[in-house]
Structure 1
Amino acid sequence: MLKKITAISLALTLTACANTDALDANITSLTNKVDALSAQVADLEAQQQASAADVQAAKSAAEQAASDAKAANERIDNVVASYKK
């Protein structure tokens, strides 16, 4: 019985060692995929930051336009009020 257990243990040990190359290939493949995904995430983060900056610029321009329109309307109201009899 002890000989059978020893033989099975030896066979499993040799089998585990034989799969090291395949395991290394799988790890390399997964590492490459993780690196590619990391690059994509970094690119998306850069695009998101650029979009956020564009949105902020558009918001500032819209606020400035609204302020200018309000000031223009007030000037027109003052001109119209001065011509009333």
Structure 2
Amino acid sequence: MALCFHHSVQDDHDKISAAICRLRALTRGGDYAYYADIAHFMAALPLPEPSISRWLTSEADVRSAWRGLVQARQDHLRVST
């Protein structure tokens, strides 16, 4: 999950795709399957299929919150350099 966040912040599409594939493989049994959804949200990628996850708020709100974390980190890194 941390690797997905890192690659999303770096905006490295190849690496985020590879990390998401690995994350999907690790969660294939159903436990923590929502992690792959969150990784897509962080990278601003569409979900490949409808999510089976039940969110406490709307999926759009969850997507926005996770993407917002990535954007905040990107902004912080731009200011720091």
Alignment TM-score, normalising by the size of structure 1: 0.27
Higher RCO structure (Cα 8 Å, ≥6 apart):
2
**Greater share of residues in helix:** 1
Alignment TM-score, normalising by the size of structure 2: 0.29
Max Rg structure: 1
